[in-house]
Structure 1
């Protein structure tokens, strides 16, 4: 089976019905996040490269047809209309690393309706998950205020692929390294790591463990000092490092307890031993909130190793994301369910100073002080260019982060900028709502059309 089967069953049933009905006209689907999670002042667009890999290789093979048939308890011949389906459409998207806001399309797919429908689940999965992780990691970089942050998340992420993605996304927003060897090797990232408590426990004493570790690794080493008594462990580490003349580049790691207070004591012990160049690394359940507290306390910490809470975006593990059809065969369409209105038409986001963004229609001219965010990245089922290098993504992120209002960058109680719809988008939305109401033979207010039912920036669309 191919990745075509990595989809929800209803995508298959809908695509099958479309084919039988001859509904193969071009459809545009828009992927966006309705509202930001609590304690988020912005999101970082991510997952596009994975989505493009999927779309460029999407093809329904005989094995896939048999899998669909088995899932539906139907003979394979009933699903043969799907055989050979591949993605031949176009994609416009926000490049990875850019800051995005609620309601702004991260991606728009335009393709024959069955193709665009079948792609929904995989594309939504990749952009939703990776955008959530990238946004959490970005906040850690902000909280660290210039101190290096490294990724220790692999052992707790939701699968090896998610761990690989976490390492990549962390690097994209400024992490200094990762413990994930596969990711470090594949993407030429700095590989970082120390030792586990089990290593220390395997030797008769901490000093035996530290000396053995140093013999095995002739370069700079990091000793984990809190297996038994942290202050005693720091003193032993200092003695070993001084005896071996291993100062610059080496470190001690604190993994438990009151990290701020222990860092103060560790720094004092190291300095008294003449080891001012030995750094202090901390780990153990850290996230941007804990890092922010430690930085603000003035704790003498050099490196922050973050893991579980970042790799799973613990406080906001999912996004309120959607993939909604906004146009079919030249006809603008929109969903009108209460609090889940999706504005019609192919769109563009115009980035203005201070992220005072405007969401308009794709063929609109940008405001004088606005630049379009969505770029054409796929045409006729093929990429229009090469993969974005991590350096390019980092540059985009750094530029957008610097342009964000300070209130959006706050770790606690951030204030997110809100995009607003253009006049043309507002007029189109109003016209489509009225058309739907007329077709249903009922007043607009009875069908979720009032302004108070709208989500994201579309609350300000006239009703």
Structure 2
């Protein structure tokens, strides 16, 4: 399936109409999140790199035109104006890994109107999903308070591609590894994994299973110890590790029950066996809330494997995001709908210390002591520089999160900073609202 046809039908019908009406002047669309999901004090911008890959390759081919025509039940000749359409515009965007807040553009596209319209759906899909998962992963890293986290989300992700994205986004936020072999290879993320309960069950005893696994994998091993009785499983693992001299670098994994209590019992048993350097890894339905509780309770856990609830961002699985036209052919435009009004004009976000942000117009001077968040990353349909790296995105994330107010970083009941609106943007909004309302007879609405 072509990425070009992975879109909503109305993008096609609007783009075709624009072309037939010769509406090809530059248009600027702004992609932003109206409100943060419940339980979030910030978001982490993600998805830009695959979005730029998509835009770089975007071109409507013959097969795409035929597919559009078949879906619309119209002759292919009717859709011929779309053939050969490619993305030739400019993109200004927040680099991956940076903290963003409600109302702030993650990305702005300026391109001939049909082009800018036709890429809307795919861009929203990429940035919304990846920003959602990156933000969840970031909260897990904060909850872990320096302890390693590993991505185990692939088997419960919403499809294989979503699993790849979750592994990459976990690494962006600071995860130490992933169980996803394809992601480990593609993105250079350390691979991590142990064994399943089925492996243990296939042998006549836990001890036989552990010894067989160690014969195949003579380096540091991790034994899953809760298939039957956790206490006995820990004792068996300790005996096998001691017999084989495999203590340093090895670990046991706990996957069920009261993980705090199980970890305390396991730590005592391992220490008593002289295996103080054997680590304890826990898994099983964990997210930032569970990790936070275990850390605050002082559970002797060395690493956390998080999967289902993180890869699906289970408590806040979507963003209230929009991709709205803010300027066409040099004319600022805005939407006046109640509760969904938008502010006109291309924008910039000026970041001050402690995420004291100001949303202003793209062409205004930055307030003192601030830096612009949106950078020009594509011009004339081409990237302005080489692809970004996970290491660079991770460094930006670490710096931005460290600068957030403590209340925004809280796991329970966080309070998000609220960006200000610049005087110039507020003035333009008032002018365009009045002009638009006078022309259409629409009522007033407040931009969000």
Give the TM-score category using the shorter length: over 0.9
2:447 is the alignment partner of 1:447: no
**Could you say what secondary structure the match of 1:4 adopts?**
coil
> Do the aligned residues in 1 keep the contact of 2:28 with 2:116 (CA within 8 Å)?
yes
Q: Which residue of 1 aligns with 2:235?
A: 235
**Could you say what secondary structure the match of 2:400 adopts?**
helix
Q: Which residue of 2 aligns with 1:162?
A: 162
Q: Which residue of 2 aligns with 1:107?
A: 107
Q: Which residue of 1 aligns with 2:137?
A: 137
> Do the aligned residues in 2 keep the contact of 1:335 with 1:341 (CA within 8 Å)?
yes
Q: Which residue of 2 aligns with 1:461?
A: none
Question: Equivalents in 1 of 2:434, 2:239: separation in Å?
Answer: 79
How many corresponding residue pairs?
448
Question: Equivalents in 2 of 1:261, 1:447: separation in Å?
Answer: 60
2:250 is the alignment partner of 1:253: no
Question: Equivalents in 2 of 1:447, 1:159: separation in Å?
Answer: 44
User: 1:20-419 alignment to 2 at 5 Å?
Assistant: 20-419=20-419
Q: Which residue of 1 aligns with 2:438?
A: 438
Question: Equivalents in 1 of 2:186, 2:18: separation in Å?
Answer: 41
Q: Which residue of 2 aligns with 1:458?
A: none
**Could you say what secondary structure the match of 1:358 adopts?**
strand
State the Cα distance separating 1:448 from its structure 2 match. Answer: 4.0
Structure 1 residue runs without a partner (length 5+): 456-463
**Could you say what secondary structure the match of 1:125 adopts?**
helix
| Deviations 1:99-154 (CA, angstroms, capped at 9, x unpaired) | 00000000000000000000000001000000000000000000000100000000
Question: Equivalents in 1 of 2:93, 2:398: separation in Å?
Answer: 19
Question: Equivalents in 2 of 1:401, 1:278: separation in Å?
Answer: 32
Structure 2 residue runs without a partner (length 5+): none
> Do the aligned residues in 2 keep the contact of 1:358 with 1:421 (CA within 8 Å)?
yes
> Do the aligned residues in 2 keep the contact of 1:285 with 1:307 (CA within 8 Å)?
yes
Question: Equivalents in 1 of 2:425, 2:413: separation in Å?
Answer: 31
Q: After the TM superposition, list the runs of 4 or more consecutive aligned residues in structure 1 that deviate by more than 3 angstroms.
A: none
TM-score (norm 2): 0.99
RMSD: 0.7
State the Cα distance separating 1:298 from its structure 2 match. Answer: 0.3
> Do the aligned residues in 1 keep the contact of 2:279 with 2:302 (CA within 8 Å)?
yes
| Deviations 1:339-373 (CA, angstroms, capped at 9, x unpaired) | 11110000000000111100000001001111000
> Do the aligned residues in 2 keep the contact of 1:55 with 1:381 (CA within 8 Å)?
yes
State the Cα distance separating 1:186 from its structure 2 match. Answer: 1.3
Q: Which residue of 1 aligns with 2:13?
A: 13
TM-score (norm 1): 0.96
State the Cα distance separating 1:2 from its structure 2 match. Answer: 2.7
